[in-house]
């Protein structure tokens, strides 16, 4: 087993690109030192499916329950009830992926705002942290979050790629910052690299967002061009180098942050987790689509 441990705090393992070899993906991740993964739910169906997914092997799976802004048009009273039921399950550790996406606008902005506000309220009620998606919607999102920030049980800005101003505002609101393979992109990632040292060590999380955002600096590059959790240490190498940290420091800090935010078991309590394995809550349909 590798000496360093990693926790991938954002994975889309229900994506159809993982269907042929999902169990092998788990095995490769564990061989790379990834001890746990957080599967993202993006609507009621995918959230239920994520809660039901179990690996064969020593990787602990946790999941989220929420509605991505792309699917905000599905948010209604029935959807809220389903997400609330899922989010109360022990293996589901956060509400989300939720937020605002004004870049693609796949759901009307009013519906995005309503769905996001509803999930913030739900997270406060249940005492669960949030996984937040934001794209081209910084001002609107921070206004909504600021209204309830003091009541939240924590939140992470998933896949941060924003400006220095946005970073400072998210940190002021108490958010954790999720860093992906975007930092390994020599074309688009230069601005992010400059901001990495500004993220406090106690607020930094690492994530692949697999199968998306394959690190462009990865060699050899997989023929499938598919990202997967086993590549998280490669992202960590870039982050550690830019921040002037050792890999051991980054491993210890990022894993401690993930455990703190999502209330995961400490290593001494069993690396494979004391939280019951993900299972299907009674009465929920676990067939469905995967998120972006």
Whether 29 is covered by a domain: the verdict is yes
Q: Whole domain around residue 59: which residue ranges?
A: 6-265
What is the C-alpha to C-alpha distance for residues 157 and 99, in angstroms, rounded to an integer? Answer: 9
Supply the pLDDT for residue 220.
Answer: 93
Residue 207: name the closest of 94, 44, 127 by CA: 94
Q: Which pairing describes strands 60-65 and 34-39: parallel, antiparallel, or unpaired? A: parallel
Residue 40: name the closest of 104, 108, 132 by CA: 132
Whether 283 is covered by a domain: the verdict is no
Whether 278 is covered by a domain: the verdict is no
- Cβ-based neighbours of 223, under 8 Å, separated by 6 or more: none
Supply the pLDDT for residue 2.
Answer: 57
| pTM, to two decimals | 0.90
Whether 273 is covered by a domain: the verdict is no
Whether 275 is covered by a domain: the verdict is no
Rounded to the nearest 10 degrees, the angle between the axes of helix 44-52 and helix 77-87 is: 20
Supply the pLDDT for residue 270.
Answer: 42
Instruction: Count other C-beta atoms under 10 Å from residue 54's C-beta.
Output: 14
Whether 151 is covered by a domain: the verdict is yes
- Tokens 């400059």 belong to which residue? 194
Q: Please give the tally of structural domains in the chain.
A: 1
**Tokens encoding 67:** 């509605």
Supply the pLDDT for residue 267.
Answer: 80
Whether 282 is covered by a domain: the verdict is no
What is the C-alpha to C-alpha distance for residues 75 and 96, in angstroms, rounded to an integer? Answer: 13
Whether 292 is covered by a domain: the verdict is no
Instruction: Give pLDDT tens digits along the chain (292 positions).
Output: 457 999 999 999 999 999 999 999 999 999 999 999 999 999 999 999 999 987 766 799 999 999 999 999 999 999 999 999 999 898 999 999 999 999 999 999 999 999 999 999 999 999 999 999 999 999 999 999 999 999 999 999 999 999 999 999 999 999 999 999 999 999 999 999 999 999 999 999 999 999 999 999 999 999 999 999 999 999 999 999 999 999 999 999 999 999 999 999 988 644 443 333 343 332 333 323 333 4
Domain CATH for 214:
3.20.20.140
């Amino acid at each position: 087993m590798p000496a360093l441990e990693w926790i991938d705090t954002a994975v889309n393992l229900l994506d159809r690109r993982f269907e042929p070899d999902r169990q092998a993906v788990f095995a490769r991740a564990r061989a790379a030192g990834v001890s746990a993964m957080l599967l993202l739910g993006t609507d009621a169906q995918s959230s239920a499916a994520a809660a039901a997914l179990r690996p064969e092997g020593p990787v602990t799976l946790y999941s989220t329950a929420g509605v991505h802004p792309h699917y905000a048009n599905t948010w209604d009273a029935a959807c809220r009830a389903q997400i609330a039921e899922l989010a109360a399950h022990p293996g589901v550790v956060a509400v989300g992926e939720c937020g605002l996406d004004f870049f693609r606008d796949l759901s009307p902005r009013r519906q995005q705002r309503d769905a996001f506000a509803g999930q913030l309220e739900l997270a406060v009620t249940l005492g669960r942290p949030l996984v937040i998606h934001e794209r081209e919607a910084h001002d609107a999102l921070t206004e909504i979050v600021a209204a309830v920030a003091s009541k939240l049980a924590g939140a992470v800005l998933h896949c941060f790629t924003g400006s220095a101003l946005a970073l400072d505002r998210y940190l002021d609101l108490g958010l954790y910052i999720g860093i992906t393979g975007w930092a390994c992109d020599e074309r688009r990632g230069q601005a992010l690299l400059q901001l990495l040292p500004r993220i406090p060590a106690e607020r930094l999380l690492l994530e692949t967002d697999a199968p998306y955002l394959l690190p462009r600096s990865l060699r050899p590059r997989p023929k499938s061009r598919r990202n997967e959790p086993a590549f998280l240490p490669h992202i960590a190498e870039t982050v550690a180098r830019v921040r002037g940290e050792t890999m051991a420091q980054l491993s210890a800090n990022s894993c401690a942050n993930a455990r703190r935010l999502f209330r995961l078991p400490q290593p001494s309590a069993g690396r494979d987790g004391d939280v019951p394995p993900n299972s299907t809550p009674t009465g929920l349909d676990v067939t469905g689509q995967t998120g972006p």
